[in-house]
């Protein structure tokens, strides 16, 4: 198949919120610096639903969504040296070129090399898409487009992983689990004994809980409006639960009262700007740090009294948990293989690509953490 166009099944988003359509899609061969991957498993993340909703300023239609997946390299373009056909890989929406100003800074995991293309739904080389249907181009998404049996990505966006690792599990290391763990370990750097509050107990929030537990947090307070999340959250290290619906006072006040002045660290794992404010304001005066993980819609803005920052609270954000993707995703896979981090416990449903619309329905119903699709 190398060098030839591959026709395969993919879920195409034609318009915001209109059901995805399973189509025969033509996937062009990888050009210089590109890798064509046979995606075997993909999960759904809330961010896919966000872009599909039409609220993402970078959302383009028609496109092929999906960014949490695993597969096997089918072929590589000219000049690609770090992976070869047959390698087991995880596509990484956050690239790592190791050469750009960002990568060299040592201060961030963001990479500048292909970001413009991944935001524009095209490939760097010729500014075109590798996906088409009967000659009509279909946009890429986040540089990954994993809701397709075959996808083409930039070589700086591919992590080569242990071939023994089960791809139907480690696909989750493409987004949600590393994001939560890394927010604690890399961005907040939670220390033993700390009091932590987590707003939103989906996969990202539960991974924050797992990270906080492993960092030695003394209390991990889970906040969610869906009480069904509380039972499962106990298994991830959440020690106390608060449902904002059970209180008349603002949730930040509830948490300040529960913690003798506020938490040491809080994490917003929802994408709701008023919850982001509460997450900052429930932090302890003088040192409390709040990390924004949730992605908020176009036009939404955060606000608080500057006094909150003047008096020592710190507001931060994180993308992919601050992990350098190509360097650290293989390390996370190894940690899973050594049973040092959970993955299986986040997978509540398994379906096929053909059932993808049902998988999105499940995500909105609540009882679902991650649904893994077999391609």
Kindly give, in sequence order, each residue whose CB lies less than 8 Å from that of residue 277, ignoring residues fewer than 6 positions away.
Answer: 252, 302, 303, 304
46 interacts with ligand NAD by CB under 6 A: yes
109 interacts with ligand AHE by CB under 6 A: no
151 interacts with Zn ion by CB under 5 A: no
Binding mask 154-183 for ligand NAD (x = CB under 6 A): ---------------------xx--x----
Closest by Cα among 62, 59, 175, 167 to 118 = 59
Unique residue bearing structure tokens 């046979």? 38
Which phi-psi region, left, alpha or beta, contains residue 366 (left: φ > 0; alpha: ψ -120 to 50)? left
Q: Which helix (H) or strand (E) element contains residue 151?
A: strand 150-154
Binding mask 162-181 for Zn ion (x = CB under 5 A): -------------x------
Q: How far is CA 359 from CA 23, 39, 55, 179, in A?
A: 17, 17, 20, 21
Pick out residues in 216-255 that bind ligand AHE (CB under 6 A): none
Closest by Cα among 3, 362, 346, 353 to 145 = 353
* Residue number, 40 or 295, with CB nearest to ligand AHE: 295
Pick out residues in 206-245 that bind ligand NAD (CB under 6 A): 223-226, 229, 244
What value, to the nearest 5°, has the Cα angle with vertex 9 and ends 3 and 11?
125
Active site residues: 45-47, 67-68, 97, 100, 103, 111, 115, 175, 370
* Residue number, 240 or 345, with CB nearest to Zn ion: 345
* Residue number, 44 or 242, with CB nearest to Zn ion: 44
| Interacting residue ranges for ligand AHE, rule: CB under 6 A | 45, 47, 56-58, 94, 110, 115, 175, 295, 319-320
Residues in touch with ligand NAD (CB under 6 A): 45-47, 50, 175-176, 179, 199-205, 223-226, 229, 244, 269-272, 275, 293-295, 318-320
């Amino acid at each position: 198949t190398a060098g030839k166009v591959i026709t395969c099944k993919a879920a195409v988003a034609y318009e915001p919120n209109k059901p995805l359509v399973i189509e025969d899609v033509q996937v062009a061969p990888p050009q210089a610096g590109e890798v064509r991957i046979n995606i075997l498993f993909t999960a759904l993340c809330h961010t896919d639903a966000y872009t599909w909703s039409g609220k993402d300023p970078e959302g383009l239609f028609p496109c092929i969504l999906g960014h949490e997946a695993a597969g096997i390299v089918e072929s590589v373009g000219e000049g690609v040296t770090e992976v070869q056909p047959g390698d087991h890989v995880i596509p990484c929406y956050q690239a790592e070129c190791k050469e750009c100003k960002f990568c060299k800074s040592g201060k961030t995991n963001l990479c500048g090399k292909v970001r413009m293309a991944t935001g524009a739904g095209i490939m760097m080389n010729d500014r075109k898409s590798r996906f088409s249907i009967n000659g009509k181009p279909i946009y890429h998404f986040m540089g990954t487009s994993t809701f397709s049996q075959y996808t083409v990505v930039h070589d700086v966006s591919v992590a080569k992983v242990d071939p023994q690792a089960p791809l139907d599990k480690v696909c989750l290391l493409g987004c949600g689990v590393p994001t939560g763990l890394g927010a604690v370990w890399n961005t907040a750097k939670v220390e033993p004994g700390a009091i932590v509050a987590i707003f939103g107990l989906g996969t990202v929030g539960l991974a924050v809980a797992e990270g906080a537990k492993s960092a030695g947090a003394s209390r991990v307070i889970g906040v969610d409006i869906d009480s069904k999340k509380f039972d499962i959250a106990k298994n991830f290290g959440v020690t106390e639960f608060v449902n904002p619906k059970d209180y008349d006072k603002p949730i930040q006040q509830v948490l300040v009262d529960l913690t003798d002045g506020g938490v040491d660290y809080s994490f917003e794992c929802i994408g709701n700007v008023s919850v982001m404010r509460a997450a900052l304001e429930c932090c302890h005066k003088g040192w409390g740090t709040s990390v924004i993980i949730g992605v908020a819609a176009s036009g939404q803005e955060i606000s608080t009294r500057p006094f909150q920052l003047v008096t020592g609270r710190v507001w931060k954000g994180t993308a992919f948990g601050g992990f350098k993707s190509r360097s650290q995703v293989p390390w996370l896979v190894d940690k899973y293989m050594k049973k040092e981090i959970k993955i299986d416990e986040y997978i509540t449903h398994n379906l096929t690509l053909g059932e993808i619309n049902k998988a999105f329905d499940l995500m909105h119903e609540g009882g679902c953490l991650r649904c893994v699709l077999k391609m």
